[in-house]
Structure formats: structure tokens, C-alpha cells
A = this chain, B = another copy of it.
Amino acid sequence: MSVGCPDTIKAVLDQRSVFQVCSGGFVQSLAEQGRVMALRKGQVLLTSGGEASRFYIVLNGWVKLYRETLDGAQAVVDILTAGHMFGEVAVFEGDIYPYSAEAAETAQLVSLPLDALKAEMEGNPRLAMAMMRSMASGRKRQDEELEHRTLQNAPQRIGCFLLRLADQNAEGAVDIHLPYDKTLVASRLGMQPETFSRALAKLKKETGLRVKGATISLDSLDQLVRYSCSACSNEFPCSDLKSC
């Protein structure tokens, strides 16, 4: 289960925009150093402050990035699903991971060597620029997150989260599927599960959306936009959540 087929791994790499600017040869050789691995739910993959030698791309399942205090309280940095990459920033942090990561649900990952990435970046300005674009958009996302925590209340944060999951150009009725369970969404949004539940109920009342398990239906995005976007600095058709 620990060695994957290089062709499959290469296909995964080819989907990431940072590797689209690289030569096929480099991507191929990186893929050959890739390993597919499986994690059980709750399994810790890496620890904040730990030595870094590899970075990862999620194949399936959910991976939670978080930071944890001595007494066990944790702040969720992000929750990743298929296609997302993490751990690569350690290259710029003295090969130390700046966060911890664990499988929030059974997951499969590809692990790849950091030194190969670093060497290529040092020699390939196009990759370097692509990495910077990726980091800058991650940084911007964090700025937005901080803004949301400051300016939006719980129901608005949920509304904003839903809008970013939806096809924002859709006219008329829309269905939105939560990408992971409600407890995790709550932690991703920095609130307690109870608060999430109550806040979603409030959204239901205010905007007329309907909730059925992990599926949320809406007659149109307008109501949600009116409710959530007034407390956000972005114009409505805003960056979606998948683009990182």
C-alpha cells in the first residue's frame, strides 16, 4: 500500500497548477519518488515543529491542518480534500512544519520529497513564480479568513462558506453539498458544533434554504448573498474554496 504507480502519481501532479509550468521530465522524476499512503481516521501524519522531509497531496478523504496548545485545544488552519497539497511551505521554514496534520477521515495521500522540489525551485524561476502565486493566494485566503472571523457572525460565516462551495454563476435553484461532516465544518469556521447547528437553523429562517443531511438546497443564491456578503469586503462573485 505504500508504493504507488508513478503514472497515477504523475497524473495527480499534472493537475496542480504549480507543476504545469515544469518540464515533463521533472514531473516524471518527482512522480517516481512519490509514495501513496493510507491513513486511518485520527492518525497524525505530521506535527507542528517537526522535521520536514516530504510534502503531500490528498488523493481522497479529509485531512485536517491544525495547531495545538499544550492543553489540547486546537485551532484548525484548514481542512483539505482531494487534490489539495500541504507541507510544502516547510521548505521556507527551515524544514520545520508550521502546523500539524491528521486524517479527519480515512484518507489516501501521495507523499513527495521536499528536497527535489526545493532543488527544482532554485533552478527554475517559472516554478518559483508559480509557487509564489500559490503561496500568495493562500496568504490572501488567510487574510480573508481573519476578516471573516472579525466581521462576520456565525450564520454569515456559514453562508459565505456555502457560497464559496457553490457555482457562483448559477441562476435559479442550487444544491450545495458539504464536503465533510458538520462538526468539521464547524471547526473549519472556528465555532462549536452546537453553534454551527443553531446558526444553520437561523440561516434557514432568514434565507429560506433547506437542509437535508449534508445537502443544502436554495431557490437562488441572491438571498444568501444579501445575508452574508454585506459583512465581507469581497464583491459577490468571490474566490471559491477549491482554487487553492
Contact of A150 among B48, B75, B233 (CB under 8 A): B75
How distant is A241 from chain B, measured CB to nearest CB, in Å?
Answer: 16
How distant is A28 from chain B, measured CB to nearest CB, in Å?
Answer: 22
A231 contacts the other chain (Cβ, under 8 Å)? Answer: yes
Q: How far is the CA of A121 from the CA of B138 in the complex (A)?
A: 20
A77 contacts the other chain (Cβ, under 8 Å)? Answer: yes
CB neighbours of A128 from chain B (8 A):
121, 125, 128-129, 132
Of A92, A123, A133, A190, the most chain B CB neighbours within 10 A belong to A92
Q: Which residue of B lies closest to A73 (CB)?
A: B151
Contact of A147 among B49, B75, B89 (CB under 8 A): B75
Of A89, A124, A190, the most chain B CB neighbours within 10 A belong to A89
Interface residues on A, range: 35 or more
B139 and A69 form a contact (CB under 8 A)? no
A71 contacts the other chain (Cβ, under 8 Å)? Answer: yes
B137 and A135 form a contact (CB under 8 A)? no
A98 contacts the other chain (Cβ, under 8 Å)? Answer: yes
Q: How far is the CA of A139 from the CA of B91 in the complex (A)?
A: 13
Contact of A68 among B67, B138, B233 (CB under 8 A): B233
Of A48, A91, A122, A132, the most chain B CB neighbours within 10 A belong to A132
Interface string of A106-146 (1 = CB under 8 A from B): 00000000000000011111001101110111111011111
A1 contacts the other chain (Cβ, under 8 Å)? Answer: no
